[in-house]
Amino acid sequence: MMNKIEARNICKQFQNLEVLKGIDLEVAEGEVVAVIGPSGGGKSTLLRCLNKLETIDRGSIVIDGETLVKDTSSGVEYAPEKDSRRIACKMGMVFQQFNLFPHMTVLENLIEAPVQVQKRNKEEVIREAEALLAKVGLLDKRDVYPRKLSGGQQQRVAIARALAMKPSIMLFDEPTSSLDPELTGEVLKTMRELAEEKMTMVVVTHEMGFAREVATKVVFMADGHVQAQGTPQEIFENPSNERLKAFLNVILK
Protein backbone atom coordinates (compact mmCIF):
# COMPACT_ATOMS: atom_id res chain seq x y z
CA MET A 1 0.00 0.00 0.00
CA MET A 2 1.31 3.43 -0.90
CA ASN A 3 2.14 5.75 1.94
CA LYS A 4 0.17 8.98 2.12
CA ILE A 5 2.97 10.72 3.95
CA GLU A 6 6.61 9.83 3.75
CA ALA A 7 8.84 12.12 5.70
CA ARG A 8 12.52 11.28 6.01
CA ASN A 9 15.14 12.74 8.26
CA ILE A 10 13.32 16.01 8.90
CA CYS A 11 15.62 18.55 10.54
CA LYS A 12 14.42 21.95 11.63
CA GLN A 13 16.15 24.62 13.60
CA PHE A 14 14.90 27.96 14.92
CA GLN A 15 17.87 30.27 15.33
CA ASN A 16 20.03 28.21 17.71
CA LEU A 17 17.29 25.86 18.80
CA GLU A 18 17.27 22.48 17.12
CA VAL A 19 13.63 21.44 17.27
CA LEU A 20 13.53 18.46 14.92
CA LYS A 21 16.63 16.30 14.78
CA GLY A 22 15.98 13.84 12.02
CA ILE A 23 12.37 12.72 12.20
CA ASP A 24 11.03 9.89 10.08
CA LEU A 25 7.30 9.59 9.72
CA GLU A 26 5.31 7.24 7.53
CA VAL A 27 1.58 7.36 7.33
CA ALA A 28 -0.26 4.75 5.31
CA GLU A 29 -3.64 5.29 3.73
CA GLY A 30 -6.45 5.18 6.26
CA GLU A 31 -4.09 5.25 9.19
CA VAL A 32 -4.78 7.42 12.22
CA VAL A 33 -1.48 8.47 13.72
CA ALA A 34 -1.51 10.07 17.17
CA VAL A 35 1.56 12.13 17.99
CA ILE A 36 2.14 12.49 21.70
CA GLY A 37 4.94 13.89 23.80
CA PRO A 38 5.98 16.55 26.25
CA SER A 39 5.47 20.25 25.59
CA GLY A 40 8.17 21.80 23.43
CA GLY A 41 9.09 18.44 21.93
CA GLY A 42 8.47 19.65 18.39
CA LYS A 43 5.09 18.06 17.65
CA SER A 44 3.49 21.19 16.24
CA THR A 45 6.63 22.03 14.34
CA LEU A 46 6.55 18.61 12.69
CA LEU A 47 2.95 19.10 11.49
CA ARG A 48 3.75 22.60 10.29
CA CYS A 49 6.71 21.30 8.32
CA LEU A 50 4.53 18.71 6.59
CA ASN A 51 2.33 21.38 5.05
CA LYS A 52 5.09 23.93 4.61
CA LEU A 53 3.92 26.40 7.22
CA GLU A 54 7.58 26.01 8.21
CA THR A 55 10.35 25.12 5.81
CA ILE A 56 12.75 22.37 6.78
CA ASP A 57 16.55 22.54 6.83
CA ARG A 58 17.17 18.95 5.81
CA GLY A 59 15.18 15.92 4.83
CA SER A 60 12.48 15.03 2.35
CA ILE A 61 8.70 14.95 2.33
CA VAL A 62 6.55 13.05 -0.13
CA ILE A 63 2.79 13.51 0.03
CA ASP A 64 0.52 11.15 -1.84
CA GLY A 65 3.40 10.19 -4.13
CA GLU A 66 4.33 13.80 -4.90
CA THR A 67 7.58 15.28 -3.72
CA LEU A 68 7.08 18.43 -1.69
CA VAL A 69 10.72 18.75 -0.76
CA LYS A 70 13.81 16.69 -1.33
CA ASP A 71 17.29 16.57 0.09
CA THR A 72 20.21 17.49 -2.13
CA SER A 73 23.89 17.80 -1.37
CA SER A 74 23.50 21.59 -1.25
CA GLY A 75 20.46 21.68 1.04
CA VAL A 76 16.77 21.04 0.56
CA GLU A 77 14.90 21.76 -2.63
CA TYR A 78 11.18 22.52 -2.54
CA ALA A 79 8.79 21.99 -5.42
CA PRO A 80 8.02 25.28 -7.20
CA GLU A 81 5.74 27.56 -5.14
CA LYS A 82 2.59 26.73 -7.08
CA ASP A 83 3.14 23.00 -6.90
CA SER A 84 4.12 23.02 -3.26
CA ARG A 85 0.99 25.00 -2.43
CA ARG A 86 -1.11 22.46 -4.30
CA ILE A 87 0.65 19.53 -2.63
CA ALA A 88 0.41 21.12 0.82
CA CYS A 89 -3.29 21.67 0.54
CA LYS A 90 -3.91 17.98 -0.01
CA MET A 91 -3.63 18.07 3.75
CA GLY A 92 -6.41 19.76 5.65
CA MET A 93 -5.22 21.39 8.84
CA VAL A 94 -7.11 21.94 12.07
CA PHE A 95 -5.50 24.32 14.54
CA GLN A 96 -5.68 24.56 18.27
CA GLN A 97 -7.05 28.11 17.92
CA PHE A 98 -9.62 27.19 15.19
CA ASN A 99 -8.58 30.16 13.01
CA LEU A 100 -11.96 30.55 11.40
CA PHE A 101 -12.38 33.66 9.26
CA PRO A 102 -14.33 35.98 11.57
CA HIS A 103 -15.74 38.17 8.80
CA MET A 104 -17.43 35.26 7.07
CA THR A 105 -20.43 33.20 8.05
CA VAL A 106 -20.01 29.51 8.75
CA LEU A 107 -21.07 28.62 5.23
CA GLU A 108 -18.81 31.26 3.70
CA ASN A 109 -15.90 29.87 5.70
CA LEU A 110 -16.51 26.47 4.15
CA ILE A 111 -16.97 27.51 0.53
CA GLU A 112 -14.25 30.17 0.37
CA ALA A 113 -11.31 28.01 -0.65
CA PRO A 114 -13.16 25.47 -2.83
CA VAL A 115 -14.60 28.36 -4.85
CA GLN A 116 -11.60 30.73 -4.85
CA VAL A 117 -8.75 28.23 -4.96
CA GLN A 118 -10.17 25.12 -6.58
CA LYS A 119 -12.48 27.19 -8.81
CA ARG A 120 -15.27 24.71 -8.34
CA ASN A 121 -18.87 25.39 -9.16
CA LYS A 122 -20.37 27.45 -6.37
CA GLU A 123 -23.78 25.78 -6.21
CA GLU A 124 -22.19 22.38 -6.02
CA VAL A 125 -19.76 23.54 -3.33
CA ILE A 126 -22.62 24.97 -1.28
CA ARG A 127 -24.50 21.68 -1.46
CA GLU A 128 -21.43 19.79 -0.31
CA ALA A 129 -20.74 22.32 2.41
CA GLU A 130 -24.25 21.93 3.74
CA ALA A 131 -23.82 18.18 3.78
CA LEU A 132 -20.57 18.61 5.73
CA LEU A 133 -22.26 20.95 8.19
CA ALA A 134 -25.03 18.44 8.66
CA LYS A 135 -22.40 15.81 9.31
CA VAL A 136 -20.75 17.82 12.08
CA GLY A 137 -24.21 18.70 13.40
CA LEU A 138 -24.11 22.41 12.64
CA LEU A 139 -26.35 22.90 9.64
CA ASP A 140 -28.55 25.23 11.68
CA LYS A 141 -25.53 27.51 12.20
CA ARG A 142 -24.98 27.92 8.47
CA ASP A 143 -25.47 31.70 8.40
CA VAL A 144 -24.00 32.55 11.78
CA TYR A 145 -20.69 34.32 12.31
CA PRO A 146 -18.00 32.33 14.12
CA ARG A 147 -17.91 34.60 17.15
CA LYS A 148 -21.41 33.48 18.05
CA LEU A 149 -20.34 29.85 18.32
CA SER A 150 -18.92 27.96 21.26
CA GLY A 151 -15.33 26.73 21.00
CA GLY A 152 -16.46 23.20 20.28
CA GLN A 153 -18.77 24.40 17.53
CA GLN A 154 -16.04 26.57 16.04
CA GLN A 155 -13.67 23.65 15.97
CA ARG A 156 -16.23 21.46 14.24
CA VAL A 157 -16.72 24.19 11.64
CA ALA A 158 -12.94 24.32 11.22
CA ILE A 159 -12.92 20.57 10.59
CA ALA A 160 -15.73 20.92 8.06
CA ARG A 161 -13.90 23.79 6.39
CA ALA A 162 -10.81 21.65 5.96
CA LEU A 163 -12.91 18.76 4.65
CA ALA A 164 -14.60 21.00 2.09
CA MET A 165 -11.30 21.01 0.19
CA LYS A 166 -11.58 17.21 -0.15
CA PRO A 167 -8.17 16.67 1.38
CA SER A 168 -6.64 13.23 1.25
CA ILE A 169 -5.04 13.69 4.66
CA MET A 170 -6.14 15.60 7.77
CA LEU A 171 -3.68 17.12 10.21
CA PHE A 172 -4.84 18.11 13.70
CA ASP A 173 -2.72 20.16 16.09
CA GLU A 174 -4.18 19.73 19.56
CA PRO A 175 -7.72 20.32 18.33
CA THR A 176 -9.24 20.13 21.80
CA SER A 177 -6.59 21.85 23.90
CA SER A 178 -8.21 25.25 23.97
CA LEU A 179 -11.67 23.89 24.72
CA ASP A 180 -13.47 23.66 28.02
CA PRO A 181 -13.49 20.02 29.13
CA GLU A 182 -17.22 19.63 28.51
CA LEU A 183 -16.76 20.66 24.88
CA THR A 184 -13.95 18.31 23.92
CA GLY A 185 -16.32 15.37 23.53
CA GLU A 186 -18.21 16.74 20.54
CA VAL A 187 -14.97 17.47 18.66
CA LEU A 188 -13.48 14.09 19.47
CA LYS A 189 -16.68 12.45 18.30
CA THR A 190 -16.41 14.20 14.94
CA MET A 191 -12.80 13.07 14.63
CA ARG A 192 -13.75 9.54 15.57
CA GLU A 193 -16.35 9.49 12.80
CA LEU A 194 -13.74 10.69 10.33
CA ALA A 195 -11.44 7.89 11.39
CA GLU A 196 -14.25 5.38 10.91
CA GLU A 197 -14.61 6.65 7.34
CA LYS A 198 -10.95 5.74 6.84
CA MET A 199 -9.70 9.28 6.55
CA THR A 200 -5.92 9.38 6.85
CA MET A 201 -5.17 11.45 9.93
CA VAL A 202 -2.23 12.76 11.91
CA VAL A 203 -3.34 14.03 15.29
CA VAL A 204 -1.13 15.81 17.78
CA THR A 205 -2.97 15.37 21.03
CA HIS A 206 -2.87 15.26 24.78
CA GLU A 207 -6.06 13.20 24.80
CA MET A 208 -4.63 9.81 25.67
CA GLY A 209 -8.08 8.26 25.52
CA PHE A 210 -8.39 9.26 21.89
CA ALA A 211 -4.87 8.05 21.09
CA ARG A 212 -5.55 4.75 22.74
CA GLU A 213 -8.95 4.04 21.23
CA VAL A 214 -8.88 5.65 17.80
CA ALA A 215 -5.26 5.73 16.67
CA THR A 216 -3.84 2.88 14.63
CA LYS A 217 -0.34 4.08 15.41
CA VAL A 218 1.07 6.19 18.21
CA VAL A 219 4.26 8.20 17.82
CA PHE A 220 6.00 9.47 20.93
CA MET A 221 8.19 12.53 20.33
CA ALA A 222 10.56 14.21 22.71
CA ASP A 223 13.67 16.34 22.30
CA GLY A 224 13.24 16.47 18.55
CA HIS A 225 13.37 12.71 18.10
CA VAL A 226 10.80 10.01 17.64
CA GLN A 227 11.53 8.11 20.82
CA ALA A 228 9.06 5.32 20.30
CA GLN A 229 6.26 4.33 18.00
CA GLY A 230 3.86 1.45 17.67
CA THR A 231 0.31 0.35 18.13
CA PRO A 232 -1.59 1.91 21.03
CA GLN A 233 -1.21 -1.48 22.72
CA GLU A 234 2.59 -1.36 22.43
CA ILE A 235 2.84 2.27 23.51
CA PHE A 236 0.39 2.31 26.39
CA GLU A 237 0.42 -1.24 27.75
CA ASN A 238 4.04 -2.28 27.25
CA PRO A 239 6.16 0.83 26.97
CA SER A 240 9.82 -0.07 26.77
CA ASN A 241 11.33 3.37 26.24
CA GLU A 242 12.28 5.04 29.53
CA ARG A 243 11.26 8.55 28.49
CA LEU A 244 7.93 7.24 27.31
CA LYS A 245 7.36 5.50 30.62
CA ALA A 246 8.15 8.67 32.50
CA PHE A 247 5.86 10.69 30.24
CA LEU A 248 2.96 8.26 30.64
CA ASN A 249 3.44 8.16 34.36
CA VAL A 250 2.97 11.88 34.58
CA ILE A 251 0.15 12.21 32.11
CA LEU A 252 -1.94 9.16 33.02
CA LYS A 253 -1.69 9.71 36.75
Partner 1 sequence: MDYIIRIIPQMLEGSIVTAQVFFITIVLSIPLGVLLSLGRVSSIALLQKVIGLYVWLLRGTPLMLQLFFVYYALPAVGIRLDDFEAALVAFVLNYAAYFCEIFRAGIQSVPQGQYEAARTLGMDYVQTMRRIVLPQVFRLILPPVSNETITLVKDTSLVYVLAMNDLMRTTRNLVQRDFDITPFLVAALFYLVATLLLTMLFERLEKRFSRYDQ
Ligand X SMILES: Nc1ncnc2c1ncn2[C@@H]1O[C@H](COP(=O)(O)OP(=O)(O)OP(=O)(O)O)[C@@H](O)[C@H]1O
- Report whether 58 contacts 10 (CB < 8 A): yes
Q: How many residues does the chain have?
A: 253
Size of the site for partner 1 (CB under 8 A): 30
- CB 175 to Mg ion: min, Å: 11
103 in contact with partner 1 (CB under 8 A): yes
Q: Which three-class secondary structure state does DSSP give residue 79?
A: coil
42 in contact with ligand X (CB under 6 A): yes
Secondary structure element (H or E) that encloses residue 159, with its range: helix 151-163
Q: Which three-class secondary structure state does DSSP give residue 35?
A: strand
17-28 vs 32-36, strand pairing mode? unpaired
| Residues 45 to 104 in contact with ligand X, rule: CB under 6 A | 45
| Residues 9 to 28 in contact with ligand X, rule: CB under 6 A | 14, 17, 19
* Closer residue to partner 1 (CB): 101 or 193: 101
Q: Long-range CB contacts (< 8 A, 24+ apart) of 124-129?
A: 125/164, 128/164, 129/160, 129/164
- Interface segment toward partner 1; rule CB under 8 A; list 13-21, 133-141, 159-167, 180-188: 159-167
Among 85, 166, 198, 245, contact with partner 1 (rule: CB under 8 A): 85
Among 2, 80, 147, 197, contact with partner 1 (rule: CB under 8 A): 147
Secondary structure element (H or E) that encloses residue 251, with its range: helix 242-251
Q: Which three-class secondary structure state does DSSP give residue 241?
A: coil
Q: In DSSP terms, which residues pair with 3 in a beta bridge? A: 28
150 in contact with partner 1 (CB under 8 A): no
175 in contact with ligand X (CB under 6 A): no
Residues that bind partner 1 (CB under 8 A): 51-53, 85-86, 88-89, 91-93, 95, 97, 99-105, 112-113, 116-118, 145-147, 161-162, 165
Residues that bind ligand X (CB under 6 A): 14, 17, 19, 37, 39-45
